[in-house]
A and B are shown apart, each in its own frame.
Chain A
Amino acid sequence: MTEKVISLIEEVLDVPRGTITEDTRIEDVEEWGSLEHVAIIGELEEKLGIAVPLEESLEIESVRELLDMCENCG
């Protein structure tokens, strides 16, 4: 699951494989703007069936937090 989520993120951000890791913080990724963030949350639901709740979606600051969220929602 972790791998799937990370490669989905990399695809949306259009960055090379390996750019995103579990330790990545969102604010450190230039390409990860608010719009991309919406697209990632949308793709998680459309492609992987993971529905991260709205409020949590807006508060997530790191990939680890996002993965934790996916665990709980998947």
Chain B
Amino acid sequence: MNEKKLALLSNVNMDFVVRQLQKSVKVYRTEGYGNELGIMMNQSSSYHAFGPDITFLVMDLMELIEHELDPAAAKQRVERWFAVVSDILEPNIIYYISDGYLWGPELEVLSDAGQKARLEHIWQDALEELSGKHSNVRIFPYRRMIEKLGEKNAFSMKMWYMGRILLSNEAQRTLGELILHWAEVEGRVSKKVLLLDLDNTLWGGLAGEKEHTPIQLSEEHVGLAYKNLQRVIWQMRKDGVLLGIVSKNNDADAMEIVTNHPHMVLRPEDFSARRINWSPKHENIREIAAELNLGEDSFVFWDDNPAERQLVKEMLPMVTVPEFPDRPEELAQAMGEIYRQYFAKAQVTEEDAARAAQYAANAERSHLAKTTGSFEEYLKELKMSAVRVNPKEHVERFCQLLNKTNQFNLTTRRYTQGQAAMLLEDNRKRIYMYQVSDRFGDNGIVVVIVVDCAGDIPMVEDFVMSCRVMGRNIEDALMTEVEADVRAGGYEYLRGKYIPTAKNTPVAGLYDRLGYKRVCEKQGEVEYELRLANTPGRMYYITIKQEGAE
């Protein structure tokens, strides 16, 4: 596996995919989801500190268009998203953006069958335009993945309702593999030449025995399996893969078929090199390498005969020799796999380059709405508001937040229901609980801060926030509130603590960022202090209301 650093950002919960990726690559620990633009815009975000080489943006189209199925309205939202992304692309990061797949329960009752496709096209057009303009933006084949799995296997309504996890476990695993695959493609040099055997490889049966048994290559049965294989190979050639024949036959018999057989898809002019003779194949391959002036590591050799494969593997270890399927019906698919593994190119093709030129010429007519694309603008436009709620009325949520929050959790103290009830009755504790809304709707109760005022200097002993609202500087606003409230209670200082766990690294530097001074460090635990009179100015855009107030 290469050492590239990856990031996966999304507008739905992808935490599990991230964890899966973590097992084999360096991957950014996403702060929640649905804040992909904010994370990328904010130059001081943990995303930029992590510094990914490749960023995968896997977006759910339905969430992005906010269930707005009217094409004009959906178009506005899609173009706005792309306009922002276009403004914040970093030249040293490769971006893979998912192509559009629209899924939602209401699509089942759409009377206009073409509407789904039209909405997906809006996304596709904008995506192609962006990738045409920027050589570091690629299209991530998400749509194909869903189609292969089928909607029934790919999506899970229940997991969506439970935790904003759109994809089934199976689909999440597949997505993780797909991301790893493309990350690997990005890091490797692809193969250039596919060398093919003929008999029982490009067609069934043996050339030169026409009188007794004609070869199998046709529009039906086994013959069609070989023809379809040739169709796949032909497409690969069209996309720039060089082809060669390395086969033990009489040249005349074989070429008679390649030239004249009505069902041959590949013709003599499709092959850049040809060795049809009875010499050992590794010798032929060496000659072809010299002829094409390519290293042996540029070659993939495919032959149905295991002995031939073995010989080439031993004699030419640089040549890639994939396995050959047992059955003709598996041929076309196996070739697709070979393409993905060895030939697929991450770089833009010439066709893409041509399109890029066309876009450059048309740059003036760009219809994407201009936005300033700053993190501040983004936060402002979210129009967030927080309401302080009474924890005694939300005991269950109180426990849930403290016990189930892993990432944004400064001290990771867990409470039983009984302990929580006692805590809520303890008048030496100041407890702050907030519900947060934004222009997209209500995020529910997402923050709990517990300040213990039993000692001389009050201490923030619990500070948790749900990952769904992370990365929006909400904590800056709420801590400012808490500090003001503590100060109004007659205290001069406030202390906080960070206890590291395997999962809470996203908040490791939180108190530093909020302007607290480190007063004590032991075994990774850091204690901080702020003189409340010196509360620094912080950047946030959220209105704070008291419960019941308008």
Contacts and interface: CB of A to CB of B under 8 A. Distances in A.
A34 B400 contact: yes
Interface in B150-168: 156, 158-159, 161-163, 165, 168
Interface in A11-38: 27, 33-35, 37-38
Classify chain B: how many residues form its interface, as a range: 10 to 19
B166 to A, nearest CB: 11
Contacts of B168: 42, 46
B170 interface: yes
Given A35-B13, A35-B15, A35-B16, A41 B404 contact: no
B263 interface: no
A38 B159 contact: yes
A42 B406 contact: no
B404 A42 contact: no
A39 B158 contact: no
Given A34-B400, A35-B13, A42 B159 contact: yes
A27 B400 CA distance: 9
B400 A38 contact: no
B163 A35 contact: yes
Contacts of A54: 158, 161-162
B156 A27 contact: no
A71 interface: no
A38 B414 contact: no
Contacts of B504: none
Contacts of B15: 35
Contacts of B371: none
B403 interface: yes
A37 B158 CA distance: 12
A2 interface: no
Contacts of B170: 46
A37 B163 CA distance: 9
Contacts of B169: 39, 42-43, 46
A45 B403 contact: no
Nearest to B412: A30
A57 interface: yes
B16 A39 contact: yes
A46 B161 CA distance: 16
B372 interface: no
Contacts of A57: 158, 162
Given A34-B404, A57-B162, A27 B416 contact: yes
Contacts of A48: none
Contacts of B165: 35, 38-39, 42
Nearest to B161: A54
A35 B76 CA distance: 33
Given A39-B16, A42-B169, A46-B170, A27 B403 contact: yes
A45 B158 contact: yes
B414 A41 contact: no
A61 B464 CA distance: 21
A58 B162 contact: yes
B434 to A, nearest CB: 19
Given A27-B403, A41-B159, 4 more contacts: A35-B15, A42-B156, A42-B169, A45-B156
24 contacts: A27-B403, A27-B416, A33-B406, A34-B400, A35-B13, A35-B15, A35-B16, A37-B163, A38-B159, A39-B16, A39-B165, A39-B169, A41-B159, A41-B162, A42-B156, A42-B165, A42-B169, A45-B156, A45-B158, A46-B170, A51-B158, A54-B158, A54-B162, A57-B158
